[in-house]
Each structure stands twice: as structure tokens, then as C-alpha cells.
Amino acid sequence: MEMNQREQPFRNLWRSIARWFDNAAVTDPATALEVAAPHQIDLLRILPFAALHLGCFAVFMVGTSVTAVGIAVGLYVLRMFAVTAFYHRYFSHRAFRTSRAMQFVFALIGASAVQRGPLWWASHHRHHHAYSDTPRDAHSAKQHGFLWSHLGWFLARENFAPRIERVTDLARFPELRFLDRYDSLVPIALGIALYGLGELLRTHYPALATSGPQLLVWGLCISTIALYHATFTVNSLAHRYGSRRYATNDASRNNLWISLLTLGEGWHNNHHHYAGAARQGFYWWELDLTYYALRLMAMLGLIRDLKLVPVKVLGANRIHAGRASSAGARI
């Protein structure tokens, strides 16, 4: 027993490190830290998350260039679209249909956003909708405060594992299970690709004034951290600030600024009123860039069967009439 007690810290250390690369790496469940202290943050396991933040300060060493900033912005937009359109509207809510190949492509791009795998993301989001703003909601700002709803829940031991029972429809795809289990592989590959591209450009196109370290800092660290905190505002701010059109059973609100940051996710009260739609900006004046891109993809035959908002849903359970009447809707 004494030997086991001495070995336990080392076993926990190894498990935390192993889980940087393999989310299924476990020790004896009877001594698992998730059981002993589920609400605590595993400081060893979140070191890569902290390292991404610290890596942003390396910008003072690598400098900047139009090329690096352009790649960072491009990766922000592409990965935000993968998160909002596919991780959220497709995997979580099945708001449209697509092929298995396209499903995997955007799951891959979504994994590069470093917000874990598609099964993890969708399962926790479905859980959020089931218990929104109740004590069982893992990231309710109303129940747990700003910091916890913004990022604390994402780092807590109790939320590291996917809630597989909520995504059995997705778990039947082995490629999605692989991305979920080894969710660090795609960001690592992205970092290597950015460094390699930067060195290639430095050697063959010196006029672009970039390098491997510079693209790594801008394209991976800065772009990803901006993506993190923009996405997290939907949890921490969109249930606190903004307007409410619909009397939902939670504190969800519509917020234009969050919508601009997240390509349309800020129309959160709309979304909680009717979560199954591919469109979250219900009216023409509610800018929803993700939906416009989905419409384009549907026109190109890449996706199909976009679910729209039924007219009767637009007028149901409204808090007040005001500007947004169903007669003026453009679906």
C-alpha cells in the first residue's frame, strides 16, 4: 500500500502528459483525479493551453508582416467557420446534411481550432442545451460566473471526456472517434506546416518578409487564441448581455458584436428558441456569415437539406412584438 501511495503522483503525472496526445490514456479509475476532484483544473494537462497563450508574446521576437497577419486572419475565419458551421450547426444540431467525406474534411479543420474533437464538442454542447442555465449546465455564466463559463469549465477535469451517450449518432464513425481521441495531432500538424511554409517563403520569397517562427506565432498561437476567446464569449457573454426576443427557459441573448466575432453565433436567443435551424440570424438584418457560406456550399452541392426556421416558430413565444414581426421576415 505504501509503495502504491508513493507511485501514485508519478502515475498521475504520466497520465496527464499522456493525455496531451491520447485522450483515452487512463490509470486505475478508483484513483482517477476526475473522481477525487472533478471540479479542479488539472494544471499539468492544461500546459499546452497555457503555452499557446504564452506563445503570443513571442511576437516581440519574431516581428510581424503582412503575410503573417494575413495567414492568421485567414486561419481564424476558416477555423471559426468550421467550428460554427460544422462543430455547432452540423455535428451538434444536425441542421443540414452532407457526405461522409465532407463531414470528415470539416471535422479535420475544426480539430485544428484546438477546441478538442467533434464528438467532445457536440456532446458537451448538446448537454448545454438540455440543461441550459441550470446547475447542471457546465458553462452557465448565471450559475457559475464569468471566468468559469468563459474558460474554467473547459479546463476542469470533469469536462475532459466526451459525453458519448449524447452523440451515439456520431460515434459510429471511426474517423470521428480517432480525431476525438487524438485531438492534438491536427494542431501539431498545423504548427509544423506553418513553420515549414514560413521557412519556404523566407528562402524563396524573401520580399514577403516572413519566416517559420513568425508564421508559427501568428498562424498558430495568435490566431488560435483569438479564436478561443471569441468562441468562449458565446458561453460567458451571450447569456448576460444583449437583447431577448424570445421567452426561452434560459438567459440567452442576441448580441451583434458577438455575432461579428463568431460569424453569426451571437444571435443566441434566436438559437435557443429554435436550435435546429442552419440559420441563427432569423431576419435579414441579423448578419449571419456562417449561414451565407452554408447557402453557397449548398448551391455548389457540397451540403444539402439546410433546415430553415418555420414561419410559425418566428412568431411564437415572443417577449414583445417590435420590429421583428413575422410579416417582415426574409427566410
CA 80 to chain CA mean position, Å: 8
The answer to whether residue 19 is domain-embedded is no
Shared domain for 49 and 178, answered yes or no, is yes
The confidence score (pLDDT) of residue 4 equals: 58
Q: Are residues 267 and 204 in the same domain?
A: no
Statement to judge: residues 86 and 147 lie in one domain: yes
DSSP 231-257: HHHHHHTTTTSSB--B--SS---B-HH
Residue ending a domain, choose from 186, 207, 236: 236
192 and 265 share one domain: no
225 and 82 in one domain?
yes
Q: Please, which residues have CB within 8 angstroms of residue 138's CB and are 6 or more apart in sequence?
A: 124, 127, 128, 153, 156, 158, 159
- Does 303 reside within a domain? yes
Question: H or E stretch including 299?
Answer: helix 289-299
Residues 62 and 138 in one domain: yes
Q: Is residue 232 part of a domain?
A: yes
Residue 206 lies in a domain: yes
Contacts of 291 (CB under 8 A, 6+ apart): 264, 278, 279, 280, 281
Its pTM stands at 0.90
Q: Backbone phi, then psi, for 249, in 5-degree steps? A: -85, 35
Same domain? 259 vs 223: no
Q: What percent of the chain has pLDDT over 70?
A: 88
Q: Are 49 and 155 in contact (CB under 8 A)?
A: yes
288-325 pLDDT, tens per residue?
999 999 999 999 999 999 999 999 999 999 997 544 43
The amino acid at residue 49 is: F
Looking at residue 22, what is its pLDDT? Answer: 80
Do 216 and 308 have their domain in common? no
State the amino acid at position 163 in one-letter form.
Answer: R
Is residue 228 scored above 90 in pLDDT? Answer: yes
Report d(CA 100, CA 175) in Å as an integer: 10
Is 197 among the domain residues? yes
| Confidence category of residue 21, pLDDT binned at 50, 70, 90 | confident
Q: How many domains does the chain contain in total?
A: 2
- How confident is the model at residue 6, as a pLDDT? 59
Question: Do 70 and 197 share a domain, yes or no?
Answer: yes
Burial category of 85 from C-beta neighbours within 10 Å (exposed 0-12, middle 13-18, buried 19 and up): buried
Taking CA atoms, 190 is separated from 169, 197, 226, in Å, by 28, 10, 16
pLDDT tens by residue, 115-161:
999 999 999 999 999 999 999 999 999 999 999 999 999 998 889 88
Same domain for 56 and 157: yes
Please indicate, yes or no, if residue 17 is contained in any of the structural domains.
no
The arithmetic mean of pLDDT across residues 42-57, rounded, is: 90
pLDDT surpasses 60 at 163: yes
pLDDT category, 328, cuts 50, 70, 90?
very low
How far is residue 47's CA from residue 58's CA, in Å, rounded to a whole number?
Answer: 17
User: Is 160 within a domain?
Assistant: yes
Range of the domain at 259: 255-331
Per-residue pLDDT, 224 = 98
